[in-house]
Amino acid sequence: MQKIIIPENLAIRFDKFLLRDFFSDVPRAEIIRKIKRGNVLVNKKVAKPNYRLKKADIVEIDFKKPLREIQPNPEIKIKIIFQNDDFLIIDKPAGQAVHPVNFSDNQTLVSGLLDRFPEIRNIGDKSYGSKLRPGIVHRLDKETSGVMLIARNQPTFTTLKKMFQERKMEKQYLAWVYGKFSKKEGLIEKTLSRSKNYKKQIIARENSLRKSRAAVTYYKVKKTIDDFSLLEVSPKTGRTHQIRIHLASLGHPVVGDRLYKAPRKLRKISAARQLLHAEKISFSFQGEIFEFQALIPLDFSCFLKGLESGYS
């Protein structure tokens, strides 16, 4: 509990006093909520935010400033495939979120990275929310496993980010999907936009109200067993959920995908998570060609063995 006695020369609104002298980095709406909840008192009473402070008023503050930095977490394990002074290549496990949505969450991949590589803390593009994803050049969905690229300094971050934007990064995924394909390979070119609730993507229509973005995905069938296909997928653009929504739009959703899920008639077999794996990434950096690969995860192999044993 912090106690302040108002001096004679101070005449200011209660909420403005708190914002000016104690919580300049806290949203005003949060200050108002705390005042109304009684976390900040004037003369031991709940005061209105517009109360004008006067001499000898006693202000008592009983709440902490919210965190403004992500906290490192040594418990988050990082599987490193490669590292140098400029970047890291890691193998992200399925079920691990890449970055938090607020500073109080230290259970994401970023907290593990900050524990081992604290130099990444201030690396980013300075856009809204960039402090929540330091060093993160690109992302994988929480339930997607596989190879990820992390920048270790600002010049490298800027260069790699531009390479992604200019489509100079080659990424290759593996995906188990429902159904058989009539063609062994194909190119999906379908523009995407946000749905009404912003939680998922949809194939854009001519009358779509939200911003639409071009999206291109190449796929190749590697194996077909019963009513399931294993695909090699290469996104040529980097839109949110691109692979998942593109494959679902063809009637071949990713096995285990609970957002873009298969019709009930196809769901004879599911999985604990969406069976999408970022297998490989390749790029040229400072005159050198790099290619990295993440091993196929156990659940992919188990799914194949289950199909081969005939449990479908």
Q: pLDDT per residue over 144-189, tens digit each?
A: 999 999 999 999 999 999 999 999 999 999 999 999 999 999 999 9
Q: How confident is the model at residue 17 (pLDDT cuts 50, 70, 90)?
A: confident
How far apart, in whole angstroms, are the C-alpha atoms of residue 246 and residue 243? 5
State the chain's mean pLDDT as an integer.
89
Burial class (CB in 10 A: 0-12, 13-18, 19+), 155: exposed
Is the torsion defined by CA of 182, 188, 189, 194 positive or negative?
positive
Assigned fold of 67-166: Pseudouridine synthase (3.30.2350)
pLDDT computed for residue 207 by the predictor: 58
Higher-scoring residue by pLDDT: 205, 255: 255
Q: Is 135 left (phi over 0), alpha (psi -120 to 50) or beta?
A: left
pLDDT computed for residue 193 by the predictor: 86
Pairing mode of beta strands 58-61, 40-42: antiparallel
**Residue 197 confidence (pLDDT) above 70:** no
Residues of the chain with CATH 3.30.2350.10: 67-166, 167-312
| Residue 83, both tokens | 């590292």
Which listed residue (141, 227, 257, 299) is catalytic? 141
**Residue 92 confidence (pLDDT) above 70:** yes
Residues of the chain with CATH 3.10.290.10: 2-61
pLDDT computed for residue 312 by the predictor: 45
Is residue 85 part of the annotated active site? The answer reads no
Assigned fold of 2-61: 3.10.290
Cβ(78)–Cβ(150) below 8 Å: no
Token pair 């934007």 is found at 165
CATH assignment of 167-312, among 3.40.640.10, 3.30.2350.10, 3.10.180.10, 3.90.550.10: 3.30.2350.10
